[in-house]
Amino acid sequence: MLYTFVPVLLLRTLIAGSAMSILVACAAERPAQATPSMPQQQEASTGTVLAVSNEPDIAVPQQSFDEWRDSFRLEALQAGIPAELFDRAFAGVTPDPSIISADRSQPEFTRPVWQYLEGALSEQRVSGGKRLLNQHSATLDGIETHYGVDRNTLVAIWGLESSFGQIMGDKSVIRSLATLAHEGRRPGFAKSQLLAALEILDHGDIDADQLRGSWAGAMGQTQFIPTTYNTHAVDFDGDGRRDIWNSSADALASAAHYLQASGWKAGQPWGFEVALPTEFDYALADSSIRKPLAEWRRLGLANLPAGNDDATASLLLPAGYRGPAFLILDNFRAILRYNNSSSYALAIGLLSERFDGAGKVRASWPQGEQPLSRSERLELQERLSNQGFDPGAADGIIGGNTRSAIRSFQQQLGWPADGHPTQELLGRLRAEP
């Protein structure tokens, strides 16, 4: 999501709006600090980074860092940031080369969803979550009552985002965002986040030397970006500060507040695994298609729970028609607002159930299938475009446009039109004239 710097009133409007596109760094991916992705409008095909390849060099900024900082200082002061606060926050701040290196790196290889889930749903994470559910039961009672978001989901997010507060990132948020605003790939977005970070300091929730997070500016036990913090962080423990770094009550309640604002429905499941009938139209596995549960039953889907017939659901095939199938409801979509990856949202849903002894996937995963690398996803998009389909920009991201183009090509071939990118599909495209 890209923003350019605009006059103060419009900037504040953009900042408030950008809160609904939260950036999070998934602790399920790493025993040590990972490289999170910037906010995305489409989801990648699968989750974990196994290897990294650098993109071509990007032009050096026209301004020096000092020139950029002085220009930004004027803009920040016009937006209401006190001069003394700005100077204190930027004292000794220099660009961080490691931030630019991380920003210009893109994952070449990704884990298949079943391997991602294996790490996300580890026994250590499940047992840790169970222990913390008991330890923080009184606090979670209050959060559930106030926001209507169930405790298991909140603790699952806590576990995947920061390993229950153990891995939050230790980089200066001001330095990271200043570096990205000066010469990152998304300078407008980084600048809006940097201004929001200065507003956090101005509010007095935390001191500049404690304002720390991931390389991209995600912060605290729930990995909020600064704009999301400003609009959704809450002081749930009543100490007068919204402290998502040191207060698990504030962090969990802030996540609940965000999910509530994202459309969470109390008492409704995130979704459930289903069985599909033979001769099923796999083109219905499209996130844009929502049908009442009663309609999915009429289409022959099995293992749906009783009740909620009017609730609308979409069909998710995270590994294509050869793998498990899930019907996903509004709460799954709320989790996607937290992190726009179906693998992540599925992990949250299943982990929340594992705390109660459920959350086991019944169907088999196509474990012999090798996912496409980033280079192969780019090639797939280019070849689809050359064949007259419209996958959108060739960016290596398998989003809605690309899945729609894949379905059209699969239908032309007479294959199951599940919209899932595979090596077999790429091979067939390579054979086209």
pLDDT at position 307 is: 85
pLDDT at position 57 is: 40
Q: Which is higher by pLDDT, 107 or 349?
A: 349
Measure the CA dihedral 178/179/180/184, to 10°.
150
Average pLDDT on 73-101 reads: 97
11 exposed, middle or buried (CB, 10 Å; 0-12, 13-18, 19+)?
A: buried
DSSP secondary structure of 240-272? SS--TTT-HHHHHHHHHHHHHHTT--TT--SEE
Domain coordinates of the chain in residue numbers?
Answer: 8-261, 271-354, 374-430
Give the pLDDT confidence of 132-189 residue by residue, as tens digits. Answer: 999 999 999 999 999 999 999 999 999 999 999 999 999 999 999 999 999 999 999 9
The alpha carbon dihedral of 46, 49, 51, 54 has a sign of positive
Cβ 347 vs Cβ 341: under 8 Å: no
pLDDT at position 26 is: 41
292 three-class SS: strand
| CA separation, residue 2 to residues 106, 177, 206, 419 (Å) | 17, 14, 27, 27
Average pLDDT on 58-82 reads: 90
Locate tokens 């446009």: which residue?
Answer: 401
Measure the CA dihedral 143/148/149/152, to 10°.
70
C-alpha closest to that of 317 among 289, 291, 287: 287
Q: How far apart are CA 137 and CA 255, in angstroms?
A: 16
Supply the mean pLDDT for the chain: 88
C-alpha closest to that of 189 among 198, 197, 200, 180: 180
Instruction: Report the top-level CATH class of 271-354.
Output: mainly alpha
% of the chain residues with pLDDT over 70? 86
Q: How far apart are CA 256 and CA 271, in angstroms?
A: 18
Q: Is the predicted pLDDT of residue 41 greater than 90, yes or no?
A: no
Q: Which residues contact 171 (CB under 8 A, 6 or more apart)?
A: 96, 99, 212, 213, 214, 215
Q: How far apart are CA 1 and CA 3, in angstroms?
A: 7
Q: Is the predicted pLDDT of residue 46 greater than 50, yes or no?
A: no
AA identity, residue 162:
S
Lowest mean pLDDT among 39-43, 66-70, 353-357, 388-392: 39-43
Radius of gyration of the chain (CA): 22
- pTM score of the predicted model: 0.86
